[in-house]
Amino acid sequence: MAGMFNSGVVFANRFTQALPADSIVENYCRQVRSAAFSRVRPTNVSKPQILALNEDLAIELGLTGLLADSTALAQVLAGNNVLSGMDPYAMAYGGHQFGNWAGQLGDGRAINLGEVVDAQNVHWTLQLKGAGPTPYSRHADGRAVLRSSLREYLCSEAMFHLGVPTTRALSLVTTGDKVVRDMFYDGNPAAEPGAIVCRVSRSFVRFGNFELPASRGENDLLRTLLNFVIKSDWKDLAHQLNNAASEKTATDVYLEWFQRVCRLTQTMVVQWMRVGFVHGVMNTDNMSVLGLTMDYGPYGWVDDYNPDWTPNTTDEANRRYRFGNQAAIARWNLYQLANAIYPVVKDAKSLQAILDKLPGEYEREYTDMMRLKLGFRQAHNCPVSLIDDLQTLLCLQPTDMTLFFRLLSGFDPQNPECRLSELLQPAFYDAGETSTQTLRSYQVWETAYRHGLLQESGDQQRRSLMNSVNPAFVPRNYLAQQAIDAAEAADLSVLNELLATLGNPYQEPVPTNQHFGSKRPDWAVNKAGCSMLSCSS
């Protein structure tokens, strides 16, 4: 079908033009060496149907020509029709998974179609997830099921509207084919509806893209990849790298690039912590060099506040990727990236100096973020002890994180009759069972909080500030599961309503969507897909 649909879109293919390709053209599972990617075409599906389409994003990317014919568009977004100018490929990369080196991984079910260039001359890669096997599929089928695909589409767009750095989602397409998965890893595989998500990002390059050639001593490839990434996405550094008259050496540029990757990565995690997001599988192959949230798998949203919570059943025993450990894991992953680029940088002392500064830099950024959540514009009015004591307070009884901070904006420090323990009752999962000791702890913290707020000016401005950083809605797992259940029964109303609501996550709820702002219902605590999830997708 290639070429039958005239989209009017011009595709750029910088990655495949600048980097070495796999010399083998056949698509079969193997170790791929001395190459950054393998050319591979998506495998056709039987009956593609668009379940969700992000038309606003399509227009932003200049893809209006693709919107004219929905039937033809479904063929493109399912991978059945490779348009003229596309140069589909799967990237080669490795990674550390749960702290252990896993060797070659690669795009096992993700196929990059090509780049489009928007009106601002920014390049965006379109990538299909679930479009069939690649040389990196490790004997898997390269497919994805509807439940995981819907979760990715939903969450990536919710994160964008929440202001969290993320890859985007252009479309969700059902394939008309069944995919067999063992959802609970209990030896009972079942056939599920297949689906494909079209993901969008300025780049899908990961830490693991550097780790794989470094592990094999392929230093020429490593340098070529590093130079490509800098020239593609870091224009000021690219100028320094290309400018012979520049005072900076290539090593200086590489170190500056690494420092920026560190900064972006930590900022991303701070934003995760702000909204209560837990990635669930922070392997190095899931870490973007642009500091974007990517690879939405067994993620979760904190309901009752718990720094030790992880949504990933695979991580249940060790809780490596638990909510409160995400910053430490990000630093560990950055250390692996530093190891990977060392053969090109060759300055261990400077790399280590950058890494040594990360904990302090993170704490400062995290503290600034928490002060905003609490409504403080002046840092001196919110001592660090107030934030530290709050973490302890939130763990004294099951407390909904999203509702707690949203309700907190209603606290009136000038009214001595306004008591936090009463104001926050809707956020408590066991309301009415608050112990005397917990009430006393709330009173102590309230006194310090009230004192700090009274030093600030403009109570209405404070509330507006708090409501701009503390969302009223997040895509809780049980909400996503309700949308999945309905979609599998051919009912898209739940998904559409949820997407519309999460497109304005900081607005006060209206009666028609008020249930989206409620805390997790009791029935969802142990229901499959509503709390913890596996990597099976």
Determine the Cα–Cα distance for residues 283 and 151; give it in Å rounded to an integer. Answer: 19
Report the Cα 135 to chain-centroid distance in Å.
25
Radius of gyration of the chain, Cα coordinates, nearest whole angstrom:
24
Exactly one of 285, 303, 304, 400 is catalytic; name it: 285
Query: Cα(426)–Cα(434) distance, rounded to whole angstroms?
Result: 13
Count the helix, strand and coil residues of the chain and give each as a percent rounded to the nearest 5: 45, 15, 40
| Structure-token pair, residue 308 | 């030790």
Q: Which residues, at least 6 apart from 338, have a Cβ–Cβ distance to it below 8 Å?
A: 258, 351, 352, 354, 355
Backbone angles phi, psi at 80, to 5 degrees: -70, -30
Which of 95, 97, 151 has the alpha carbon at shortest distance from 315? 97
d(CA 153, CA 337): 28
Does the annotation count 400 as an active-site position?
no
DSSP collapsed to 3 states, 175-226: EEEEEEECCCCCCCCEEEEEEEEEEEECCCCEHHHHHHHHHCCCHHHHHHHH
Q: CA-CA distance, 421 to 131, in Å (whole number)?
A: 51
Tell me the C-alpha distance between 68 and 79, whole Å: 18
CA-CA distance, 415 to 417, in Å (whole number)?
Answer: 5
Q: Quick one: three-class SS letters along 291-358?
A: CCECCCCCCEECCECCCCCCCEHHHCCCCCCCHHHHHHHHHHHHHHHHHHHHHHHCCHHHHHHHHHHH
Asked whether the CA dihedral 355, 357, 359, 363 is positive or negative, the reply is: negative
- What are the residue numbers of the active site? 285
